[in-house]
Amino acid sequence: MARVIYVQPDGSSTTCAADGRSLMKVAVENLVPGIIGECGGDLSCATCHVFVDEAWFGKLKPRSDDEESLLDVTSEEPTETSRLSCQVTLTDDLDGIVVHVPSTQR
């Protein structure tokens, strides 16, 4: 099991433990506010946008071209460490990863 910490815009956070599933799925299953995942991870809705904590961003596999282009349609302006959380799988080497939930994705 690996843990993931979702941080809300107001600073409150939720820690969830899971493995092998995407950060979007884990968030939706645990009712983390602000991660919607409308398309179920098919990379067509951009409602699973998160800002990955800088310390963790480098540990992730790079974005695909499709993810890159879909980041243009998120509700909040993406940054260098933006990811669509359905594209990030929670593996053991990511135990403790911190991601920030955008305030306008509701």
Partner 1 sequence: MVTGVETNQIPDLTNPQTFAAGVPHEAFARLRETPGFHWQPTEIATANGGFWAVTRFADIVEIESNPALFASQPGGAWPSTNLSPDPAENPLYNNLMMMDPPRHSSVRRVAAAAFGPRIVKNFDPWVREIVVEVLERIEHLDEFDYILEVAQIIPSFVIARVQGVPAEDRQWIVDQTLASFEAMQTADVNAVGEVLHKTHVYYREKLVPEKLRNPQSDMTSVLIHAAERGEITEAEAYDFLNLLQAAGFETTHTLIGQSMRMILESPEIADKTFRGIEELGPDKVIEEFLRFITPAMFMSRTATQDTVVGDQQVRENDLLNLYFTAANRDPAVFANPDEFDPWRTETASLAFGSGPHRCIGNALAKLELRILFEEMAKRDFRFRLNGAPQRGWSTFINQIRSLPVARVS
Contact stretch for partner 1 (CB under 8 A) within 8-16, 34-42, 54-62, 89-97:
34-42
Q: Are strands 2-7 and 97-100 parallel, antiparallel or unpaired?
A: parallel
Q: Is 98 in the site for partner 1 (CB under 8 A)?
A: no
Q: How would you label 84-102 residue by residue, b for 16+ Cβ within 10 Å and e otherwise?
A: bbbbbbbeeebeebbbbbb
CB atoms within 10 A of CB 6: 24
User: Which of 13, 3, 1 has the alpha carbon at shortest distance from 101?
Assistant: 13
Contact stretch for ligand FES (CB under 6 A) within 3-11, 43-51, 75-83, 94-102:
43-51
Among 15, 77, 79, 103, binds partner 1 (CB under 8 A): 77
Among 29, 38, 68, 95, binds partner 1 (CB under 8 A): 38
Contact map string, positions 86 to 105, toward ligand FES, x by CB under 6 A: x-------------------
Contact stretch for partner 1 (CB under 8 A) within 4-12, 55-63, 71-79, 87-95:
71-79
Distance CA 48, CA 41 (A): 8
